[in-house]
Structure 1
Amino acid sequence: MSVTTTPEATTPPSGTPREPRSTTRSAAAARERSAVLESRIAQNPGEYRVLTGDRPTGALHLGHLLGTVENRVRLQNLGVEVFLIVADYQVITDRDDTGDLPATIREVLLDYLAAGLDPERSTVFTHSAVPALNQLLLPFLSLVTVAELERNPTVKAEAAAAAERGRRGTSGLLFTYPVHQAADILFCHGNLVPVGEDQLPHLETTRMVARRFNQRYSAARPYFPEPDALIARSLTILGNDGAKMSKSRGNALELRASEDETVAYFKRARTDADRVITYEPGRRPEIANLLQVGAHFTGTTPEALADEVGSAGAGRLKEIVSEAVVEGLRPLRARRRELASAGPRHLAEVLARGNARANAIADRTLDEVRDLMGMRY
């Protein structure tokens, strides 16, 4: 596997063996590695443990489904062990008002279960319910430098977004977010993380933390795995304003939306002035996005859908896409209504079982970390 090397701008913390130059995987190398991993997963899914999740800042939307959730269900159904974190602590990284967090978490759980995540095969849990996981943040922070955190692209992006929402400064929790994510992944010895290519530098922080911990405290027999990135086979979905679909931008189609709301949503979708529909993502991103969504739900390709619409124009394209999404989401929405009608007890039981399993694993990991660090008194 080829890697790109960049100069190490800072000296590792005292006591950490000096590494070779930083090895951040290139996107091309990560794609090649992902193809190999997909083959291995198909042959031996039980060898892999995935950690992934969401911040519960609102009910899930179409971008979540096509971007991450469907891939999680796919991995679960292949036999991969999936841990799904509802990262409630991360809600407070960049905002002062969390809203009705219990209600939001229930909505997220409904979306997960309706989309096909099975609590008998996947472990769903919340940050705040697993103390030992969060305690790993302390030794992990000793393995990174302030300069390394300052360079993290996710920290930069999230801080900028928080500033746009009027929040002054960067909270300490947001600043340490990459290390907190390392604790999320490593507490259960996750060795596979589905990510988009833009998240590769973020995962590199987790790999670095695992590598430095092993070098400092467990050199003879590495304790933590350096998790691999699995480039998600997913779509990046634009909202109806042409920007990336996001709850905070108010441009998202929630999975729980009604059929009428879905049709109205796509009627408002931004397009362009060209009458003939063509699939040109670089030149016509909004049209390309509609074609990708429509193709996903109709089982065709964006190019074939563009040819089908042709000179009928953007209005006809919107009709086809809205009809396809309504039909494609009908089973999910029916399951969601059924689960919601059963009341909150079932959701509470799902989360309680997941929290209990996550706690058992995190407690064992923290005990072993203390042993390795010589902190057993």
Structure 2
Amino acid sequence: MDSYAATLARMSTLRGEVETHPETYRMLTGERPTGPLHLGHLFGSILERVNLQNLGVETFVVLADYQVITDRDTSANVKSNVREAIMDYVAAGIDPERTTIFTHSAVPALNQLLLPFLSLASDSELRRNPTVKAELAASERPLSGLLLTYPVHQAADILFCKGNLVPVGKDNLPHVEITRTIARRFNERYGEVFREPEAMLTHTPELPGLDGRKMSKSYGNAISLGMSADETAAVIRKAQTDSQRQITYEPVSRPGVSALLATTAVCTGAQPEDVASQVGDSGAGALKALATEAVTEFLSDHRERRRELEADPTVIDRILAEGNERANVIAEETLADVRSAMGMAY
């Protein structure tokens, strides 16, 4: 059985265990602050974090600012992207009192774990990682050492807090697998320090962008969570559809129409096929109007909470300062355990 099949088979049991004993789990998740968070982030990961947090799982969210430069030459806008992300987290229901929100660059002990961890992964294992392969294939840049070791950085993110639960989509499962490998090899070589984390496959399938491709700010096909209602309407209005009056859900042959149907469906709790039947032969204009209404209604509370946070920037300053402080305490404790196990506690 491959790792995806095995993980999928374990999901029902794992979710039951988490719901029954949430206090035994420590979750790590996060993203690179490369731009505004969008509707795909909200449904694909953020709402899952909120659910697990509310169950009572101890939660850590890293804004991996150091990892922004794995595939780009600038760190411009990182600081503002971090602040924007925190506003969206809190607006979506992440509670800074129960969830530690922190940045890579502010936690030196986490990054120091990279050194011993690098000795536990081979060059071939790193080059087989799908993210490394995909980024290298999509770029004309030479492979940097930072990009090559990206999976080990993610292992450090998870293991710095001795996390044992990582919500991921299918494509990111290999990152958890290499983290488990590094934890296991460290324990075998130096003694028990780390738990092998488990992957929790997220419920929501990937939400397509408005053109049917993967939702991405670089494609200009995303509905950002920080958009106003008018900005959202403008983005949806510009979405490419086709000339057919009858609206049908056919992702391959009608990607633009199907993306609007999927967006409307996820915001209303319906199925895309049912939304298509509702619009019928009223055409793309009616579909766009329905999609705009659905997104605007769904995000109305989020946007209101976000406006409140924008009105007092000191709230974000405090959340990040407190999160970084908590993360540093835990990272120092873990690094001390690592040094002790390796015989390097002086």
* 2-structure distance, mates of 1:246, 1:82: 26
**Aligned-pair CA distance for 1:271:** 2.8
Which stretches in structure 2 are left out of the alignment for 5+ residues? none
C-alpha displacement at 1:282, in angstroms? 4.8
| TM-score (norm: length of structure 2) | 0.95
- 1:216-243 per-residue CA deviation (whole Å, 9 max, x = no partner) reads 111xxx3211111111112312222332
1:209 equivalenced with 2:182 (yes/no): yes
| Cα distance in 1, alignment partners of residues 254 and 203 from structure 2 | 22
1:144 equivalent to 2:117? Answer no
Q: Which runs of 5+ in 1 are unaligned?
A: 5-24
- Deviations, residues 148-185 of structure 1 (Å, cap 9, x unaligned): 1111111111223343xxxx212211110000000000
In structure 2, C-alpha distance between the alignment counterparts of 1:71 and 1:225, rounded to whole Å:
22
Output aligned runs, 1:109-148, within 5 Å: 109-148=86-125
Is this contact kept in 2: 1:239–1:269, CA < 8 A?
Answer: no
What residue identity is the alignment partner of 1:346?
Answer: V
CA-CA distance at 1:117 after TM superposition: 0.8
Between the aligned partners of 1:287 and 1:38, the Cα distance in structure 2 is 35
Please point out which of 46, 61, 67 is paired with 1:69: 46
Q: Within 5 Å, give how 1:1-377 maps onto structure 2.
A: 3-4=1-2, 25-26=3-4, 28-163=5-140, 168-218=141-191, 222-342=192-312, 344-377=313-346
Q: CA deviation at 1:291?
A: 2.0
Do the aligned residues in 1 keep the contact of 2:62 with 2:104 (CA within 8 Å)? yes
Seen in structure 2, the aligned counterparts of structure 1 residues 206 and 291 have a Cα distance that, compared at 3 Å, is same
Q: Distance in 2 between matches of 1:303 and 1:44?
A: 38
Give a deviation string over 1:300-329, Cα, whole Å, max 9, x none.
222322221222233222211111001111
Task: For residue 94 of structure 1, report the CA deviation from its aligned partner.
Answer: 1.1
- Give the conservation status (yes or no) of the 8 Å contact 2:120–2:186: yes
Q: Distance in 1 between matches of 2:46 and 2:98?
A: 15
- Identical-residue share of aligned pairs (%): 58
- Tell me, in whole angstroms, the C-alpha distance in 1 between the residues paired with 2:52 and 2:280: 36
Residue type of the alignment partner of 1:71:
E
Partners in 1 of 2:343 and 2:114 — Cα distance?
Answer: 17
| CA displacement at 1:363 relative to structure 2 | 0.5
Which portions of structure 1, spanning 4 or more consecutive aligned residues, are displaced by more than 6 angstroms? Answer: none
CA–CA distance in structure 1, aligned partners of residues 60 and 8 of structure 2: 23
SS at match of 2:282: helix
Secondary structure of the residue aligned to 2:281 is helix
**Kept after mapping to 1: 8 A contact 2:193/2:337:** no
Letter of the aligned partner of 2:203 in structure 1? Answer: R
Maintained 8 Å contact 2:46/2:89: yes
Q: Which amino acid aligns with 1:189?
A: K
SS at match of 1:311: coil
User: How far did residue 35 of structure 1 move?
Assistant: 2.0
What SS is found at the alignment partner of 1:84? strand
Q: Deviations over 1:303-361 (max 9, x none)?
A: 3222212222332222111110011111111110111101x221111111111111111
Residue-by-residue CA offset, 1:81-106 (whole Å, 9 max, x unaligned):
11000100001111111113222211
Distance 2:37 2:274 in 1: 29
Letter in 1 for 2:64: A
Aligned residues of 1:238 and 1:286 also touching (Cα < 8 A): no
Kindly tell me: are residues 184 and 238 of structure 1, through their superposed partners in 2, closer, same or farther at Cα, counting changes over 3 Å?
A: same
Q: Which moved more, 1:84-93 or 1:100-109?
A: 100-109
Which residue identity lines up with residue 196 of structure 2 in the other structure? E
After alignment, is 261-270 or 308-317 more displaced?
A: 308-317
Q: Choose 149-158 or 288-297, whichever is displaced more.
A: 288-297
Contact 1:188 / 1:362 at 8 angstroms: preserved in 2?
A: yes
- 8 A Cα contact 1:60 1:108, kept in partner: yes
Output the CA distance in 1 between the equivalents of 2:214 and 2:32: 17
Query: Does 331-340 or 249-258 show the bigger shift?
Result: 249-258
**How far is the alpha carbon of 1:287 from its aligned partner?**
3.1
